[in-house]
Amino acid sequence: MATFDDFMKLDIRVGEIIEAKNFEKARKPAYKLIVDFGDEIGTKNSSAQITEIYEADELVGKQVLGVVNFPPRQIADFMSEVLVLGVYTEKGVVLIQPDQKVKKGDKLG
């Protein structure tokens, strides 16, 4: 069982998607995202399997939550640096988003 201390090891921040495009080389349908986490962290790449619900062009400008302290992961020819968080539903993955606009880089606490 995970402990509160385990949870506190995760650095989960708010970022804004600034670019989204189809990830043609991914084995499962996905987008390549560039997410801006503000001045402290900067922009990070993420591969996200969220194509069932979202179109790439509607993702730009959305705020999302992402784990920024996982090690990078090579996916085909792309280095995914952040795990963007979502909920698995019958329709596909739904992104976790703040319900109000917040500052990029704000930490989940």
Do the Cβ atoms of 36 and 104 come closer than 8 Å? yes
What value does the mean pLDDT take over residues 47-51?
97
Supply 63's token pair: 């705020």
Q: What is the per-residue pLDDT for 109?
A: 78
Q: What pLDDT band is residue 69 in, cutting at 50, 70 and 90?
A: very high
CATH number of 4-95: 2.40.50.140
Give residue limits of the domains in the chain: 4-95
Q: What pLDDT band is residue 67 in, cutting at 50, 70 and 90?
A: very high
Alpha-carbon distances of 106 from 37, 84, 88, rounded to whole Å: 8, 15, 24
Q: What is the per-residue pLDDT for 95?
A: 98
Q: What is the per-residue pLDDT for 23?
A: 97
> Of all residues in the chain, what percent carry a pLDDT higher than 70?
100
